[in-house]
Amino acid sequence: MKDIKKYIDLHKDRFLNELIELLKIPSISADSAYKKDVLKTADEIKSSLEKAGCENVEICQTKGYPIVYGDKIIDKNLPTVLVYGHYDVQPPDPINLWDSPPFEPVIKKTELHPEGAIFARGACDDKGQMYMHVKAMELMTQTNQLPCNVKFMIEGEEEVGSASLADFVKENHEKLSNDVILISDTGMIAKDTPSITTGLRGLSYVEVEVTGPNRDLHSGLYGGAVANPINVLTKMIASLHDENNHITIPGFYDNVEELSTEERAEMAKAPFSLENYKKALDIDAVYGEAGYSTNERNSIRPTLDVNGIWGGYTGEGAKTVIASQAFAKISMRLVPNQDWKEITQLFKKHFESIAPKGVTVKVTPHHGGQGYVTPIDSIGYKAASKAYTDTFGKTPIPQRSGGSIPIVSLFEKELKSKTILMGFGLDSDAIHSPNEHFGVWNYLKGIETIPYFYHYFTELTK
Ligand code: BES
Ligand code: MN
Ligand code: MN
Protein backbone atom coordinates (compact mmCIF):
# COMPACT_ATOMS: atom_id res chain seq x y z
CA MET A 1 0.00 0.00 0.00
CA LYS A 2 1.50 3.28 -1.02
CA ASP A 3 0.71 6.98 -1.01
CA ILE A 4 -2.33 6.60 1.23
CA LYS A 5 -1.28 9.18 3.79
CA LYS A 6 0.01 11.44 1.00
CA TYR A 7 -3.28 11.31 -0.90
CA ILE A 8 -5.30 12.03 2.25
CA ASP A 9 -3.03 14.91 3.19
CA LEU A 10 -3.37 16.42 -0.26
CA HIS A 11 -7.16 16.09 -0.41
CA LYS A 12 -8.32 16.31 3.20
CA ASP A 13 -9.84 19.79 2.92
CA ARG A 14 -11.93 18.69 -0.03
CA PHE A 15 -12.89 15.46 1.80
CA LEU A 16 -14.20 17.60 4.65
CA ASN A 17 -15.96 20.14 2.44
CA GLU A 18 -17.75 17.44 0.45
CA LEU A 19 -19.01 15.83 3.64
CA ILE A 20 -20.14 19.23 4.95
CA GLU A 21 -22.22 19.75 1.77
CA LEU A 22 -23.86 16.35 2.26
CA LEU A 23 -24.63 17.14 5.89
CA LYS A 24 -26.47 20.31 4.90
CA ILE A 25 -29.33 18.29 3.40
CA PRO A 26 -31.84 17.31 6.13
CA SER A 27 -32.46 13.70 5.07
CA ILE A 28 -34.81 12.86 7.95
CA SER A 29 -36.49 9.60 6.97
CA ALA A 30 -38.96 9.60 9.86
CA ASP A 31 -40.61 12.89 8.86
CA SER A 32 -42.41 12.99 5.50
CA ALA A 33 -42.01 16.78 5.39
CA TYR A 34 -38.37 16.12 4.40
CA LYS A 35 -39.13 13.77 1.52
CA LYS A 36 -37.53 16.04 -1.10
CA ASP A 37 -34.37 16.33 0.95
CA VAL A 38 -34.09 12.59 1.44
CA LEU A 39 -34.45 12.07 -2.32
CA LYS A 40 -31.94 14.84 -3.03
CA THR A 41 -29.44 13.14 -0.72
CA ALA A 42 -29.80 9.92 -2.71
CA ASP A 43 -28.96 11.87 -5.89
CA GLU A 44 -25.90 13.36 -4.23
CA ILE A 45 -24.69 9.93 -3.12
CA LYS A 46 -25.14 8.70 -6.69
CA SER A 47 -22.93 11.38 -8.15
CA SER A 48 -20.33 11.00 -5.40
CA LEU A 49 -20.07 7.28 -6.16
CA GLU A 50 -19.61 8.05 -9.85
CA LYS A 51 -16.89 10.56 -9.06
CA ALA A 52 -15.18 8.04 -6.80
CA GLY A 53 -14.82 5.59 -9.68
CA CYS A 54 -17.86 3.35 -9.33
CA GLU A 55 -19.62 2.00 -12.41
CA ASN A 56 -23.22 0.93 -12.90
CA VAL A 57 -24.34 3.54 -10.42
CA GLU A 58 -28.10 3.61 -10.11
CA ILE A 59 -30.91 4.83 -7.91
CA CYS A 60 -33.00 1.76 -7.17
CA GLN A 61 -36.61 2.69 -6.48
CA THR A 62 -38.46 0.95 -3.68
CA LYS A 63 -41.82 1.33 -1.97
CA GLY A 64 -40.06 3.76 0.35
CA TYR A 65 -36.86 5.73 -0.12
CA PRO A 66 -34.45 4.62 -2.85
CA ILE A 67 -31.32 2.55 -2.43
CA VAL A 68 -28.20 3.85 -4.15
CA TYR A 69 -26.18 1.09 -5.79
CA GLY A 70 -22.84 1.26 -7.55
CA ASP A 71 -20.06 -1.20 -8.23
CA LYS A 72 -16.69 -1.73 -9.81
CA ILE A 73 -15.98 -5.25 -10.93
CA ILE A 74 -12.34 -5.52 -11.95
CA ASP A 75 -12.04 -9.30 -12.18
CA LYS A 76 -14.69 -11.95 -11.55
CA ASN A 77 -12.07 -14.20 -9.96
CA LEU A 78 -11.20 -11.69 -7.29
CA PRO A 79 -13.19 -11.32 -4.06
CA THR A 80 -16.02 -8.81 -3.76
CA VAL A 81 -16.57 -6.42 -0.85
CA LEU A 82 -20.11 -5.12 -0.38
CA VAL A 83 -20.22 -1.78 1.44
CA TYR A 84 -23.43 -0.90 3.25
CA GLY A 85 -24.32 2.44 4.84
CA HIS A 86 -27.27 4.78 5.25
CA TYR A 87 -27.85 8.32 4.05
CA ASP A 88 -30.90 9.03 6.21
CA VAL A 89 -30.59 10.66 9.63
CA GLN A 90 -32.53 10.91 12.88
CA PRO A 91 -34.79 13.91 13.53
CA PRO A 92 -32.74 16.65 15.24
CA ASP A 93 -35.16 17.49 18.05
CA PRO A 94 -35.00 18.87 20.70
CA ILE A 95 -33.64 21.56 18.43
CA ASN A 96 -33.16 24.22 21.16
CA LEU A 97 -30.46 22.06 22.77
CA TRP A 98 -28.15 22.35 19.74
CA ASP A 99 -25.32 24.87 20.09
CA SER A 100 -25.37 25.36 16.31
CA PRO A 101 -28.13 24.47 13.82
CA PRO A 102 -28.15 20.70 13.04
CA PHE A 103 -28.04 21.18 9.27
CA GLU A 104 -25.47 23.97 9.21
CA PRO A 105 -22.31 21.95 9.84
CA VAL A 106 -19.46 23.63 11.70
CA ILE A 107 -16.03 22.37 12.70
CA LYS A 108 -15.25 23.05 16.36
CA LYS A 109 -12.43 21.91 18.63
CA THR A 110 -13.33 19.88 21.72
CA GLU A 111 -11.32 18.33 24.52
CA LEU A 112 -11.45 14.91 22.84
CA HIS A 113 -11.05 16.35 19.36
CA PRO A 114 -8.27 18.96 19.39
CA GLU A 115 -8.11 18.52 15.58
CA GLY A 116 -11.75 19.58 15.42
CA ALA A 117 -15.04 17.76 15.01
CA ILE A 118 -17.86 18.30 12.52
CA PHE A 119 -21.07 19.18 14.35
CA ALA A 120 -24.23 18.27 12.41
CA ARG A 121 -27.02 15.72 12.45
CA GLY A 122 -25.68 12.63 10.64
CA ALA A 123 -22.02 13.69 11.04
CA CYS A 124 -21.24 10.31 12.60
CA ASP A 125 -24.49 8.34 12.10
CA ASP A 126 -24.08 7.62 9.31
CA LYS A 127 -23.26 10.15 6.60
CA GLY A 128 -19.74 10.78 7.90
CA GLN A 129 -18.90 7.13 8.34
CA MET A 130 -20.55 6.09 5.08
CA TYR A 131 -18.69 8.82 3.19
CA MET A 132 -15.33 7.52 4.47
CA HIS A 133 -15.96 4.52 2.21
CA VAL A 134 -16.73 6.70 -0.78
CA LYS A 135 -13.49 8.64 -0.25
CA ALA A 136 -11.50 5.43 0.35
CA MET A 137 -12.87 4.19 -2.97
CA GLU A 138 -11.74 7.39 -4.67
CA LEU A 139 -8.32 7.02 -3.09
CA MET A 140 -7.93 3.41 -4.23
CA THR A 141 -9.00 4.09 -7.82
CA GLN A 142 -6.99 7.32 -8.12
CA THR A 143 -3.82 5.68 -6.80
CA ASN A 144 -4.39 2.50 -8.84
CA GLN A 145 -4.59 0.16 -5.91
CA LEU A 146 -8.11 -1.15 -5.81
CA PRO A 147 -7.29 -4.83 -5.21
CA CYS A 148 -10.72 -6.45 -5.63
CA ASN A 149 -14.33 -5.91 -6.68
CA VAL A 150 -16.54 -3.47 -4.80
CA LYS A 151 -20.28 -3.00 -4.53
CA PHE A 152 -21.93 -0.12 -2.69
CA MET A 153 -25.45 -0.27 -1.29
CA ILE A 154 -26.50 2.88 0.55
CA GLU A 155 -30.06 3.06 1.88
CA GLY A 156 -32.32 5.84 3.12
CA GLU A 157 -34.53 4.09 5.67
CA GLU A 158 -32.17 2.68 8.29
CA GLU A 159 -33.41 4.94 11.04
CA VAL A 160 -36.98 3.78 10.43
CA GLY A 161 -36.43 0.04 10.19
CA SER A 162 -35.01 -0.71 6.68
CA ALA A 163 -38.27 -2.23 5.40
CA SER A 164 -37.56 -1.52 1.71
CA LEU A 165 -33.99 -2.74 1.96
CA ALA A 166 -35.17 -6.09 3.31
CA ASP A 167 -37.26 -6.62 0.14
CA PHE A 168 -34.44 -5.34 -2.07
CA VAL A 169 -31.97 -7.82 -0.57
CA LYS A 170 -34.39 -10.73 -0.92
CA GLU A 171 -35.01 -9.88 -4.59
CA ASN A 172 -31.39 -9.22 -5.59
CA HIS A 173 -29.22 -12.10 -4.38
CA GLU A 174 -27.23 -12.19 -7.60
CA LYS A 175 -26.65 -8.47 -7.87
CA LEU A 176 -25.55 -8.27 -4.25
CA SER A 177 -23.44 -11.45 -4.15
CA ASN A 178 -20.25 -10.82 -2.21
CA ASP A 179 -17.51 -12.35 -0.07
CA VAL A 180 -17.81 -9.96 2.84
CA ILE A 181 -20.03 -7.06 3.88
CA LEU A 182 -18.27 -3.99 5.24
CA ILE A 183 -20.08 -1.45 7.41
CA SER A 184 -18.98 1.65 9.30
CA ASP A 185 -22.01 2.52 11.40
CA THR A 186 -20.79 1.69 14.90
CA GLY A 187 -18.10 3.01 17.24
CA MET A 188 -14.75 2.18 18.75
CA ILE A 189 -13.53 2.22 22.35
CA ALA A 190 -11.32 5.33 22.14
CA LYS A 191 -9.08 7.18 19.71
CA ASP A 192 -6.07 5.34 21.12
CA THR A 193 -7.94 2.05 21.56
CA PRO A 194 -9.18 0.70 18.25
CA SER A 195 -11.88 -1.95 18.40
CA ILE A 196 -13.95 -4.00 16.00
CA THR A 197 -17.64 -4.49 16.74
CA THR A 198 -18.39 -8.21 16.95
CA GLY A 199 -21.98 -8.03 18.06
CA LEU A 200 -25.14 -5.96 17.81
CA ARG A 201 -28.28 -6.26 19.85
CA GLY A 202 -31.66 -7.09 18.39
CA LEU A 203 -34.68 -4.91 18.94
CA SER A 204 -38.39 -5.12 19.59
CA TYR A 205 -40.26 -1.82 19.61
CA VAL A 206 -43.86 -1.59 20.82
CA GLU A 207 -46.42 1.05 21.65
CA VAL A 208 -48.93 0.57 24.44
CA GLU A 209 -52.23 2.27 25.11
CA VAL A 210 -54.27 2.10 28.33
CA THR A 211 -57.88 3.25 28.17
CA GLY A 212 -60.07 3.87 31.21
CA PRO A 213 -63.27 5.95 31.32
CA ASN A 214 -64.78 7.05 28.01
CA ARG A 215 -63.81 10.72 28.55
CA ASP A 216 -61.46 12.88 30.59
CA LEU A 217 -62.95 13.32 34.07
CA HIS A 218 -62.89 15.88 36.88
CA SER A 219 -60.25 14.48 39.21
CA GLY A 220 -62.18 15.60 42.29
CA LEU A 221 -65.55 14.23 41.32
CA TYR A 222 -64.21 10.90 40.05
CA GLY A 223 -60.72 10.64 41.58
CA GLY A 224 -60.29 7.55 43.73
CA ALA A 225 -63.35 5.85 42.32
CA VAL A 226 -62.21 4.84 38.83
CA ALA A 227 -58.96 3.48 37.41
CA ASN A 228 -56.71 6.35 36.32
CA PRO A 229 -55.05 5.16 33.08
CA ILE A 230 -51.82 7.05 33.83
CA ASN A 231 -51.55 5.60 37.35
CA VAL A 232 -52.27 2.15 35.95
CA LEU A 233 -49.83 2.45 33.04
CA THR A 234 -46.96 3.58 35.26
CA LYS A 235 -47.67 0.80 37.75
CA MET A 236 -47.74 -1.77 34.95
CA ILE A 237 -44.47 -0.44 33.52
CA ALA A 238 -42.83 -0.44 36.95
CA SER A 239 -43.76 -4.10 37.38
CA LEU A 240 -41.79 -5.08 34.26
CA HIS A 241 -38.56 -5.06 36.31
CA ASP A 242 -38.05 -6.75 39.69
CA GLU A 243 -35.90 -5.49 42.58
CA ASN A 244 -32.77 -6.85 40.86
CA ASN A 245 -33.69 -5.14 37.61
CA HIS A 246 -34.43 -8.43 35.91
CA ILE A 247 -37.24 -8.26 33.37
CA THR A 248 -40.36 -10.02 34.69
CA ILE A 249 -41.99 -11.07 31.40
CA PRO A 250 -42.37 -14.86 31.60
CA GLY A 251 -40.08 -16.59 29.08
CA PHE A 252 -38.15 -13.41 28.28
CA TYR A 253 -34.76 -14.91 29.18
CA ASP A 254 -35.45 -18.44 27.90
CA ASN A 255 -33.22 -18.25 24.83
CA VAL A 256 -30.69 -15.70 26.06
CA GLU A 257 -27.20 -16.83 25.24
CA GLU A 258 -25.17 -16.85 28.48
CA LEU A 259 -21.48 -16.12 28.11
CA SER A 260 -18.92 -18.41 29.71
CA THR A 261 -16.79 -17.18 32.60
CA GLU A 262 -13.82 -17.08 30.21
CA GLU A 263 -15.69 -14.96 27.67
CA ARG A 264 -16.77 -12.54 30.38
CA ALA A 265 -13.23 -12.34 31.72
CA GLU A 266 -12.01 -11.59 28.19
CA MET A 267 -14.61 -8.82 27.86
CA ALA A 268 -13.60 -7.29 31.16
CA LYS A 269 -10.08 -6.75 29.82
CA ALA A 270 -11.25 -3.95 27.53
CA PRO A 271 -10.15 -0.63 29.00
CA PHE A 272 -13.01 1.10 30.79
CA SER A 273 -13.24 3.70 33.52
CA LEU A 274 -16.48 3.73 35.50
CA GLU A 275 -15.49 7.08 36.98
CA ASN A 276 -15.13 8.68 33.54
CA TYR A 277 -18.33 7.04 32.39
CA LYS A 278 -20.29 8.57 35.27
CA LYS A 279 -18.55 11.91 34.88
CA ALA A 280 -19.38 12.12 31.16
CA LEU A 281 -23.07 11.67 31.98
CA ASP A 282 -23.19 13.70 35.21
CA ILE A 283 -24.57 10.80 37.22
CA ASP A 284 -23.46 9.71 40.68
CA ALA A 285 -24.12 6.01 40.15
CA VAL A 286 -24.80 3.55 37.38
CA TYR A 287 -27.96 1.47 37.45
CA GLY A 288 -28.91 -1.88 35.99
CA GLU A 289 -29.31 -5.62 36.21
CA ALA A 290 -27.77 -7.16 39.32
CA GLY A 291 -24.79 -9.43 38.73
CA TYR A 292 -23.51 -7.71 35.57
CA SER A 293 -20.96 -4.99 34.89
CA THR A 294 -21.80 -1.80 33.04
CA ASN A 295 -20.19 -3.08 29.85
CA GLU A 296 -22.13 -6.32 30.12
CA ARG A 297 -25.40 -4.55 30.84
CA ASN A 298 -25.12 -2.53 27.67
CA SER A 299 -24.00 -5.25 25.29
CA ILE A 300 -24.56 -8.91 26.17
CA ARG A 301 -27.73 -8.48 28.27
CA PRO A 302 -31.25 -7.76 27.03
CA THR A 303 -33.09 -4.68 28.29
CA LEU A 304 -36.51 -3.05 28.41
CA ASP A 305 -36.79 0.73 28.36
CA VAL A 306 -39.60 3.23 28.07
CA ASN A 307 -38.70 5.63 25.25
CA GLY A 308 -41.64 7.94 25.62
CA ILE A 309 -44.71 8.30 27.82
CA TRP A 310 -47.64 10.68 27.60
CA GLY A 311 -51.21 11.37 28.61
CA GLY A 312 -53.29 13.86 30.56
CA TYR A 313 -52.55 17.52 30.98
CA THR A 314 -48.99 18.68 30.31
CA GLY A 315 -49.60 22.33 29.48
CA GLU A 316 -48.86 25.37 31.60
CA GLY A 317 -50.25 25.57 35.10
CA ALA A 318 -52.55 22.94 36.55
CA LYS A 319 -55.64 21.19 35.32
CA THR A 320 -57.43 18.77 37.64
CA VAL A 321 -58.22 15.93 35.33
CA ILE A 322 -58.18 12.15 35.05
CA ALA A 323 -57.26 11.37 31.47
CA SER A 324 -59.22 8.81 29.55
CA GLN A 325 -56.05 7.36 28.03
CA ALA A 326 -52.32 6.94 28.65
CA PHE A 327 -49.61 5.88 26.22
CA ALA A 328 -46.00 4.72 26.13
CA LYS A 329 -43.41 3.63 23.61
CA ILE A 330 -41.21 0.80 24.82
CA SER A 331 -38.10 -0.72 23.29
CA MET A 332 -36.46 -4.00 24.20
CA ARG A 333 -32.85 -4.60 23.20
CA LEU A 334 -32.30 -8.27 22.57
CA VAL A 335 -29.28 -10.53 22.46
CA PRO A 336 -28.41 -13.45 20.17
CA ASN A 337 -30.91 -16.34 20.12
CA GLN A 338 -33.78 -14.15 21.29
CA ASP A 339 -36.24 -13.95 18.42
CA TRP A 340 -37.67 -10.46 18.15
CA LYS A 341 -41.07 -11.57 16.92
CA GLU A 342 -41.37 -14.12 19.71
CA ILE A 343 -40.33 -11.53 22.32
CA THR A 344 -42.88 -9.08 20.92
CA GLN A 345 -45.59 -11.71 21.41
CA LEU A 346 -44.39 -12.51 24.95
CA PHE A 347 -44.52 -8.82 25.79
CA LYS A 348 -48.01 -8.41 24.35
CA LYS A 349 -49.40 -11.42 26.15
CA HIS A 350 -47.85 -10.43 29.47
CA PHE A 351 -48.75 -6.76 29.27
CA GLU A 352 -52.37 -7.57 28.48
CA SER A 353 -52.47 -10.11 31.30
CA ILE A 354 -51.35 -7.65 33.99
CA ALA A 355 -53.97 -5.01 33.19
CA PRO A 356 -56.32 -4.53 36.14
CA LYS A 357 -60.08 -4.52 35.75
CA GLY A 358 -61.41 -1.09 34.82
CA VAL A 359 -59.05 -0.44 31.90
CA THR A 360 -58.40 -1.95 28.50
CA VAL A 361 -54.91 -2.35 27.10
CA LYS A 362 -53.75 -2.31 23.50
CA VAL A 363 -50.25 -3.31 22.41
CA THR A 364 -49.13 -2.32 18.91
CA PRO A 365 -45.83 -3.78 17.66
CA HIS A 366 -43.60 -1.48 15.60
CA HIS A 367 -40.41 -2.65 13.93
CA GLY A 368 -37.73 -4.95 15.23
CA GLY A 369 -34.86 -7.13 14.23
CA GLN A 370 -32.47 -9.85 15.26
CA GLY A 371 -29.17 -9.40 17.06
CA TYR A 372 -25.87 -10.39 15.55
CA VAL A 373 -22.55 -11.88 16.63
CA THR A 374 -19.60 -12.50 14.40
CA PRO A 375 -16.58 -14.74 15.04
CA ILE A 376 -13.08 -13.33 15.34
CA ASP A 377 -11.42 -16.07 13.30
CA SER A 378 -13.01 -15.21 9.94
CA ILE A 379 -10.93 -13.86 7.04
CA GLY A 380 -12.86 -10.60 7.26
CA TYR A 381 -12.11 -10.12 10.94
CA LYS A 382 -8.45 -10.95 10.43
CA ALA A 383 -8.20 -8.50 7.54
CA ALA A 384 -9.83 -5.75 9.60
CA SER A 385 -7.57 -6.50 12.54
CA LYS A 386 -4.45 -6.24 10.36
CA ALA A 387 -5.73 -3.01 8.83
CA TYR A 388 -6.20 -1.32 12.24
CA THR A 389 -2.86 -2.66 13.43
CA ASP A 390 -1.18 -0.92 10.49
CA THR A 391 -2.91 2.43 10.88
CA PHE A 392 -3.33 2.66 14.68
CA GLY A 393 -0.17 0.77 15.63
CA LYS A 394 -2.25 -1.39 17.97
CA THR A 395 -4.23 -4.61 17.65
CA PRO A 396 -7.95 -3.77 17.82
CA ILE A 397 -10.07 -5.22 20.62
CA PRO A 398 -13.22 -7.19 19.72
CA GLN A 399 -16.23 -5.53 21.36
CA ARG A 400 -19.94 -6.27 21.37
CA SER A 401 -22.07 -3.18 20.97
CA GLY A 402 -25.42 -2.40 22.52
CA GLY A 403 -26.83 -0.72 19.41
CA SER A 404 -28.79 -2.38 16.64
CA ILE A 405 -28.50 -2.61 12.88
CA PRO A 406 -31.27 -5.15 12.30
CA ILE A 407 -30.52 -5.58 8.60
CA VAL A 408 -27.16 -7.24 9.37
CA SER A 409 -28.72 -10.54 10.43
CA LEU A 410 -30.89 -10.45 7.31
CA PHE A 411 -27.75 -9.97 5.17
CA GLU A 412 -26.28 -13.12 6.65
CA LYS A 413 -29.48 -15.08 6.14
CA GLU A 414 -30.12 -13.92 2.56
CA LEU A 415 -26.63 -13.33 1.17
CA LYS A 416 -24.82 -15.95 3.24
CA SER A 417 -21.93 -13.70 4.09
CA LYS A 418 -20.41 -12.27 7.24
CA THR A 419 -20.47 -8.61 8.10
CA ILE A 420 -17.43 -6.76 9.41
CA LEU A 421 -18.31 -3.72 11.51
CA MET A 422 -15.46 -1.22 11.28
CA GLY A 423 -16.83 1.72 13.25
CA PHE A 424 -14.83 4.88 13.82
CA GLY A 425 -17.27 6.82 16.01
CA LEU A 426 -16.97 7.41 19.76
CA ASP A 427 -19.72 7.06 22.39
CA SER A 428 -19.28 10.77 23.10
CA ASP A 429 -20.20 11.69 19.49
CA ALA A 430 -23.81 12.14 20.66
CA ILE A 431 -25.48 10.21 17.85
CA HIS A 432 -29.29 10.62 17.92
CA SER A 433 -28.76 13.48 20.42
CA PRO A 434 -28.33 17.24 20.12
CA ASN A 435 -24.83 18.32 19.05
CA GLU A 436 -23.98 15.12 17.20
CA HIS A 437 -20.43 15.32 15.91
CA PHE A 438 -17.67 13.29 14.29
CA GLY A 439 -13.97 13.88 14.86
CA VAL A 440 -12.00 15.08 11.86
CA TRP A 441 -9.23 12.75 13.02
CA ASN A 442 -11.66 9.81 13.14
CA TYR A 443 -12.99 10.62 9.68
CA LEU A 444 -9.54 10.74 8.12
CA LYS A 445 -8.37 7.68 10.07
CA GLY A 446 -11.32 5.75 8.66
CA ILE A 447 -10.42 6.78 5.12
CA GLU A 448 -6.86 5.64 5.80
CA THR A 449 -7.77 2.28 7.37
CA ILE A 450 -10.38 1.10 4.84
CA PRO A 451 -7.95 0.56 1.90
CA TYR A 452 -5.82 -1.67 4.15
CA PHE A 453 -8.89 -3.78 4.81
CA TYR A 454 -9.39 -4.30 1.06
CA HIS A 455 -5.71 -5.12 0.65
CA TYR A 456 -5.58 -7.73 3.43
CA PHE A 457 -8.96 -9.21 2.64
CA THR A 458 -7.91 -9.82 -0.97
CA GLU A 459 -4.56 -11.19 0.12
CA LEU A 460 -6.01 -13.56 2.74
CA THR A 461 -8.72 -14.80 0.36
CA LYS A 462 -6.25 -15.88 -2.32
N1 BES B 1 -25.74 3.29 13.66
C2 BES B 1 -26.80 3.02 14.58
C3 BES B 1 -26.59 1.78 15.40
C4 BES B 1 -25.34 1.72 16.26
C5 BES B 1 -24.72 2.86 16.73
C6 BES B 1 -24.84 0.49 16.57
C7 BES B 1 -23.58 2.76 17.50
C8 BES B 1 -23.72 0.39 17.36
C9 BES B 1 -23.08 1.53 17.82
C10 BES B 1 -28.11 2.91 13.79
O11 BES B 1 -28.25 3.96 12.88
C12 BES B 1 -29.26 2.99 14.73
O13 BES B 1 -29.48 4.04 15.26
N14 BES B 1 -30.00 1.90 14.92
C15 BES B 1 -31.20 1.93 15.70
C16 BES B 1 -32.13 0.82 15.31
C17 BES B 1 -32.99 1.14 14.11
C18 BES B 1 -33.94 -0.01 13.83
C19 BES B 1 -33.78 2.41 14.27
C20 BES B 1 -30.88 1.75 17.16
O21 BES B 1 -29.91 1.10 17.53
O22 BES B 1 -31.66 2.29 17.95
MN1 MN C 1 -26.53 4.29 11.82
MN1 MN D 1 -28.95 5.74 14.03
What does the alpha-carbon distance between residue 348 and residue 216 come to, in Å, rounded to a whole number? 26
Residues 6+ apart with CB under 8 A from 72: 53, 54, 55, 137, 141, 146, 149, 150
Ligand nearest to the CA of 436: 3
Residue 162 alpha carbon, nearest atom of ligand 1: 18
Look at the alpha carbons of 279, 285, 287, 293 in this order and tell me if their dihedral is positive or negative: positive
Mean pLDDT of the chain: 97
Of all protein residues, whose CA lies closest to atom 20 belonging to ligand 1? 404
Of all protein residues, whose CA lies closest to atom 15 belonging to ligand 1? 404
Query: In the structure, which protein residues have their CB atom closer than 6 angstroms to any atom of ligand 1?
Result: 125-126, 158-159, 161, 185-187, 200, 203, 367, 401, 403-406
What does the alpha-carbon distance between residue 101 and residue 246 come to, in Å, rounded to a whole number? 40
CATH class of the domain whose range is 4-200+371-461: alpha beta
Domain definitions of the chain by residue range = 4-200+371-461, 202-256+302-369
Fold designation for 202-256+302-369: Alpha-Beta Plaits (3.30.70)
Query: Percent of the chain, pLDDT > 90?
Result: 98
What does the alpha-carbon distance between residue 452 and residue 386 come to, in Å, rounded to a whole number? 8
Of all protein residues, whose CA lies closest to atom 19 belonging to ligand 1? 159
How far, in Å, from the CA of 350 to the mean position of ligand 1?
27
What is residue 2's predicted lDDT score, i.e. its pLDDT?
85
Residue 331 alpha carbon, nearest atom of ligand 1: 22
Mutate which of 405, 407, 433 to test ligand 1's pocket (most atoms within 8 Å of Cβ)? 405
Q: What three-state secondary structure class fits 87? A: coil
209-236 core/surface letters (b: 16 or more CB in 10 A; e: else): bbbbbeebbebeeeeeeebbbbebbbeb
Per-residue pLDDT at 77 exceeds 90: yes
What is the tens place of the pLDDT at every residue in 286-323?
999 999 999 999 999 999 999 999 999 999 999 999 99
What is the tens place of the pLDDT at every residue in 195-254?
999 999 999 999 999 999 999 999 999 999 999 999 999 999 999 999 999 999 999 999
How far, in Å, from the CA of 243 to the mean position of ligand 3?
31
CB atoms within 10 A of CB 206: 21
Residue 161 alpha carbon, nearest atom of ligand 1: 18
Q: What three-state secondary structure class fits 282? A: coil
Of all protein residues, whose CA lies closest to atom 9 belonging to ligand 1? 186
How far, in Å, from the CA of 225 to the mean position of ligand 3?
45
Mutate which of 89, 158, 399 to test ligand 1's pocket (most atoms within 8 Å of Cβ)? 158
What is residue 1's predicted lDDT score, i.e. its pLDDT?
83
Residue 203 pairs in a beta bridge with: 333, 369
Per-residue pLDDT at 462 exceeds 90: no
